[in-house]
A and B are shown apart, each in its own frame.
Chain A
Amino acid sequence: MTRQVLGAVFENFFFELGQVFELGWQAFKSIFKKPFEKANFLQQLEEVGVNSLLVVSLTAAFGGLVFGLQTYLAFHRYIGPGSESQGGPIIAVGLCRELVPILVGLMVAGRVGSAMAAEIGTMKITEQIDALFSLGAHPVRYLVVPRVLASLIMVPILTLYGDVIAIFGGFAYNVLLMKVNKTLYVQNTLKYFEIWDVSVGLIKALIFGLVIAVVGCWQGMTAEGGAEGVGRATTKSVVVASIAILILNFFLSKVLPSTLR
């Protein structure tokens, strides 16, 4: 009995994984086919990027502040007063490699991935996807490609922007609030912090962006059964994308080299 249930769960998992890869592959093939849906692409750039700025600003700022706070405390208590300026590079590296990409990924999954699932899901159940087809627009090319491209471009940009805000948050907590020596803090940071640390975060962001858009579109395209079905698709897109982001994040951290020096 439990074996059967487990079997069904696994089967379903691989079936859905197959659907996601299928859609991703179709979108990839469609990128190079004409016509390119420019209006939709620009609209999605705005939706994913510009409209996420406030959320990303807030999460990055407070993420940076709290990360600065804990690092300060750790040095202050375990190494001793006066050692706090050594926290600079740890804060910068931790933020750029881990915290900011994850925060941005989760926020965008919640804000944009869910909206993609809801919008496309509504179009699906009201036959608008069928209508696209009957009017000569390929649904994947018209709906999925612009969203995937916009996410691929905008999630890394948001992450880079978040990096700046968050690093400043950590700096502000230590230097401005706790009066850590500014020169030492900056010197230490510049000594250990590499461009590669930022790049790792951006590589992650690129992959998270892909996951968010493909999962959101996939849930929308497979939505069934009225308003309830769209609601389910929306929730599921957020849950699946968030979990995938956290799991992928660990393996990417493990696989990507820690330094290029």
Chain B
Amino acid sequence: MNKIKIQLSDVHKSFGQKQVLRGVDLDIYENETIVIIGQSGSGKSVLLKHIIGIMKPDRGHIYVDGQDITQLSEEELMKLSRKFGMLFQGAALFDSLTVAENVAFGLRRHTNLSEEEIQQVVKASLERVGLRGVENLLPYELSGGMKKRVGLARAIAYNPEIILYDEPTTGLDPIRADAINELILQLKKDLCVTSVVITHDMNSTYKIADRIAMLYDGRIIEVGTPEEIRNSSNPVVQQFINGRATGPIEEW
């Protein structure tokens, strides 16, 4: 097994009275693609934001390359963000900037590339997600799926070591969705990235996952290879991956 890239240990997070994470433990290895599954509202997006340091846990620790990021100052976290690329669930494009400027944003701050090189990388990144000739459009001129792909181009442009994908294929047509799955596999192979993917799409989960982790009731209740998860004896996992309305999960 590779070395541990990201380690979550006993991570707790509440919003007011609502306990979202109640002791998450998870090790993520270098160059693996781990898919996190779980019900809507179970705290997957919140978990992802903890890994990059946007949210701070109420309790517990998060280690990235052995460094406890919960102890870092904002300034140090900003520097660390160079390692991460994040695709947000709602794409989160900057709506006052053009597509090209959105994609160039991280390049300008995380790298020392010249203007010419930046434009080249922007173009190449957009092509990787299947977009051409959209550089000068503004986000409101894009369709939902295009926004998602621009968000992805922006996240991968500066070659981060770790990519966090929050529902990369939601809102894309099946062909595009599969192209994105291919891209995730490709990035892993070419650039040795470590990927954490949130998705509700079980087909793409089985296609891209080295391991699958299920978040339920604020904890990771099961982690394993797709094979192990498919054969899991945990009825909660079985109900979820088979998409049944009846079973031990009653709240939704």
Contacts and interface: CB of A to CB of B under 8 A. Distances in A.
Interface of A: 35, 119, 122-123, 126-128, 130-138
Contact of B106 (A119, A135, A138): A135
A131 B92 contact: yes
Contacts of B81: 133-136
A134 B109 contact: no
Interface of B: 49, 52-54, 74, 77-78, 81-82, 84-86, 88-90, 92-96, 105-106, 109-110, 154-155
B73 to A, nearest CB: 12
A221 B72 CA distance: 22
B74 A136 contact: no
| Pairs of residues from A and B, 3 with the lowest C-beta to C-beta distance, nearest first | A136-B109, A127-B92, A135-B106
A134 B94 contact: no
Nearest to B160: A134
B92 A136 contact: no
Given A128-B95, A135-B106, 11 more contacts: A122-B95, A126-B90, A127-B90, A131-B86, A131-B88, A131-B93, A131-B94, A133-B52, A133-B54, A133-B77, A138-B74
B95 A137 contact: no
Contacts of A127: 88-90, 92
A162 to B, nearest CB: 29
A132 B86 CA distance: 11
A122 B95 CA distance: 10
Contacts of B88: 127, 130-131
Contacts of B52: 133-134
Given A128-B92, A131-B92, A136 B82 contact: yes
A40 to B, nearest CB: 10
6 contacts: A126-B92, A126-B95, A131-B94, A134-B54, A135-B154, A137-B105
Given A135-B81, A136-B106, A137-B105, A130 B49 contact: yes
A77 B82 CA distance: 73
Contacts of A123: 94
B90 A135 contact: no
B100 to A, nearest CB: 14
A128 B90 CA distance: 9
Contacts of B96: 119
B168 to A, nearest CB: 15
Contacts of B92: 126-128, 130-131
A172 to B, nearest CB: 41
Contact of B110 (A35, A130, A132, A135): A135
A35 B112 CA distance: 13
Given A133-B78, A136-B78, A137-B105, A128 B86 contact: no
B197 to A, nearest CB: 16
B113 to A, nearest CB: 13
B86 A134 contact: yes
A28 B74 CA distance: 16
A128 B91 CA distance: 9
B121 to A, nearest CB: 14
A7 B90 CA distance: 40
B54 A130 contact: yes
A122 B93 CA distance: 12
A128 B93 CA distance: 7
A135 B93 CA distance: 11
A198 B86 CA distance: 51
Nearest to B52: A134
Nearest to B53: A133
Contacts of B82: 136
Contacts of A133: 52-54, 77-78, 81
Nearest to A128: B92
A137 B155 CA distance: 14
